[in-house]
Structure 1
């Protein structure tokens, strides 16, 4: 799989941009502020429906404009993808329903177009077909991005690690992006009801209508949260083995790194046992799973009862704070190095190695899925790495179908990379001069 052409309109700092790509390694070079990262961010957004640089879509639209557009021609030599971690048991890649094109052809090129309005929902189009939701194309183009702040995946707050889970899940699990959107919507509505209850109670208004609505939203919150929890457990279970193996190879010092998913809905453990993903919680938590996993219906009933009881205990706290105090929005991944929490004990170098191993594990899992090898994006990472890690990344990049690298100057690219160089300043000058 590789991008052959990328066209941007009013995306970030780009009023217009057109770049042709080839298989192999492409280096985008230019001084800071020219928009190198914006180019690869557009490809990442097309792939995962999100950006590692922004939590919302509005910042992606050029200032003073109402809409941004990403258009990419993508060549794929593989067949339609297959989901390796589908919590619902569906076949097929993430959102990979047939689009009317022949993906078995080595020369097949599909055009994906994403429209990002300043307000409202994002839309997408495949070739010249009718407009669809963004979720309908997320996961069709696969990418793995290495960024300068990747070590913060280990050291910073859980939101970063959930962001990784979501970008990985969008590509690995059929329906993940839709499930995430559904949970986010329900969570916002439920939190709004809590705030309204607090306001009405303060002025003596009858809150019984709000309580009736809260019951309905709480049921939806549980269902959406359980679904997302199961999907995230499958994502972690798919990555764990590769992550541990790659870390051992990168570190080459006998140290051992592990990762485990820590769902905030702890009551969901019986369902994860049914799914066969309890190992994603790590050995200590997995030991709590019953030897004979219950069937789906019994497990779901037990989980819902447990979560309902939890909600009853924290009701006053949720009203007082106006937010949801439990749920997948508080999930985390715990990384351990030789049995100790990496966040507390790992050095900067070890955190970098953990982050690199995590990204490479995602690449390997995606690469094993039918549908084409992922596009590797290295966004200004070489300056952050020592010589040994740079050499490992160079070897890794050389083995990929397509790698896109951003650097400030051509000399920043390590030796040993046979790459096509693209001067971003020249691209910008040509784009600004084009009549469009």
Structure 2
């Protein structure tokens, strides 16, 4: 798989941009702030429908424009498909595949698969759990696009359930406090409201456990598959300096969480039961706090280097190697699963690596079908990679 051509209109700093690409290595060279990352961000957006830099679409549209357009010609097994995305802040985005309009933008997922590593990915090691959860869920979708629907359904359930907890918490708390007191004349309406809120909460608990158990099961499976690739990739990048591992830290009750942390992968039906049990155990706390405390949205992926957690203990260089190892492991997992190379994007990576890590990374990616690299200084990229070069300056992309 490779990108043959990228075309942009009103995307980020570009009024228009055309970037012809070929298999092998392409290096985009230019000073910071000239638009290199905007180009690879657009390619990543085609693959994931999200930016690796911002959480919303609005910053992707050039100031003063109403919309941004990305067109990307993708070649797979000699067959070419054109993906067209129309980014409309405040309105629904639109997508075309081969000139045919798609019902939903996510219907184009899977046409292009990328693995993108950027300086922001250091947060995989040093950042909060949400960053690591997003990495695993993005990998799930890249592996099987249908998980985008499950992920979206789960996020909606969590949002609506949290809204219920927040709005119903006062009623539920009043009901709890009044349970041991003599009935007042006005107690019956409170009891009815409490019963209604509890019933509604039970319904949302059922939805959360059914969809959440699917997402949790998929995460556990993919982390089990990712582990060996991570250990190998980190060893290669760091030249054997430590063992990188990953384990899942669940918000389920203690017994279930211990099983999962030990590498057990229960079936979805059992996970749904365990989730319901955990929700019941923490109901009083959820009502008191007005927020959900159980489910995949409360979980973490723990990264360890040797016997210690990487977060807080790994050096800056070790953290970089770990984050890079995670992305290379994702690349190898997708390559093995799909029997096809994703497009590997390295955004301003080589500047952060010492000469030894640069050369080891170059050796690891030499056989990838397509690699797109950005660099402020061309000399940072090992000469052994070769390939074509473009210079990026003031919104212009010029062959080197």
- The answer to whether TM tops 0.5 is yes
| TM-score normalised by length of structure 2 | 0.86
Question: CA–CA distance in 2 between the matches of 1:354 and 1:301?
Answer: 32
Question: Which secondary structure state, in structure 2, belongs to the residue aligned with residue 403 of structure 1?
Answer: strand
Give, in angstroms, the shift of residue 404 of structure 1: 0.6
1:408 aligns with 2:376: yes
1:94-128 Cα shifts (integer Å, max 9, x gaps) = xxxxxxxxxxxx2x101112222212443322102
| Of 188, 192, 217, the match for 1:230 | 217
Give 1:21-170 correspondences, 5 Å limit. 21-77=21-77, 106=78, 108-170=79-141
- Please tell me whether residue 421 in structure 1 is matched to residue 392 in structure 2: no
Unaligned runs of 5+ in 2: 175-185
Stretch of structure 1 that moved more, 196-205 or 235-244? 196-205
Q: Secondary structure at the match of 2:100?
A: coil
Counterpart-to-counterpart distance in 1, 2:268 and 2:382: 52
Contact 1:29 1:424 in 2 (8 A): yes
Cα pair 2:13 2:62 within 8 Å, conserved: yes
Q: Show the counterpart of 2:243.
A: 256
Which digits, 9 at most, give the CA deviation of each residue in 1:20-48, with x for residues without a partner?
11111111122222221111111112112
Match of 1:176 among 147, 170, 173: 147
C-alpha displacement of 1:296: 6.2
Structure 1 pair 174/417, CA: closer, same or farther in 2 (3 Å)?
A: closer
Say if 2:225 is the partner of 1:241: no
Return the offset for 1:220.
1.9
Q: 1: CA distance between counterparts of 2:285 and 2:173?
A: 19
Name the stretch that deviates more: 195-204 or 220-229.
195-204
C-alpha contact 1:239 1:365 (8 A) present in aligned 2 = yes
Question: Could you tell me whether the CA contact under 8 Å between 1:240 and 1:259 is conserved in 2?
Answer: yes
SS of the equivalent of 1:354 reads helix
Matched with 1:82 is none
Deviations 1:129-186 (A, max 9, x none): 2323222222331111111233331122112211211221111234221111111112
Change (3 A) 1:317 1:66: farther
Q: CA deviation at 1:251?
A: 2.7
CA deviation after TM superposition for structure 1 residue 371, in Å: 5.6
Q: 1:12 deviation in Å?
A: 2.1
**Shift of residue 215 of structure 1?**
3.5
Residues 346, 371 of structure 2: 8 Å contact kept: yes
CA deviation profile, 1:309-363 (whole Å, cap 9, x unmatched): 13423232332xxx32222122211111221112132211211221121111111
Is the deviation greater in 188-197 or in 209-218?
Answer: 209-218
**Structure 1 gap segments, 5+ residues each:** 78-105, 273-277, 431-436
Kindly report which structure 2 residues correspond to 1:210-225, keeping only aligned pairs within 5 A, or say none.
Answer: 212-225=199-212
Change (3 A) 1:31 1:183: same
Query: Match for residue 330 of structure 1?
Result: 298
Structure-2 residue corresponding to 1:87: none
Structure 1 residues 48, 296: CA separation in 2 closer, same or farther (over 3 Å shift)?
closer
Contact 1:24 1:401 in 2 (8 A): yes
**Separation in 2, partners of 1:141, 1:268:** 40
CA distance in structure 1 between the partners assigned to 2:333 and 2:312 by the alignment: 28
Q: Give the counterpart of 1:368 among 336, 356, 364.
A: 336
Give the deviation of 1:74 after TM superposition: 0.3
Summarize the alignment of residues 275-424 of structure 1 with structure 2, pairs less than 5 Å apart: 281-283=260-262, 286=264, 297=269, 299=270, 302-319=273-290, 323-370=291-338, 372-424=340-392
Shift of 1:241: 0.9
| Residue 95 (structure 1) aligns with | none
Q: How many residues align?
A: 382
Q: Provide the C-alpha distance between the structure 2 equivalents of 1:73 and 1:410, rounded to a whole number of angstroms.
A: 27
Cα shift at 1:198: 5.1
Partners of 2:233 and 2:381 in 1: CA distance:
23
Separation in 2, partners of 1:301, 1:32: 48
Residue number in structure 2 paired with 1:7: 7
Q: State which structure, 1 or 2, has the greater radius of gyration over its C-alpha atoms.
A: 2
SS at match of 1:151: helix
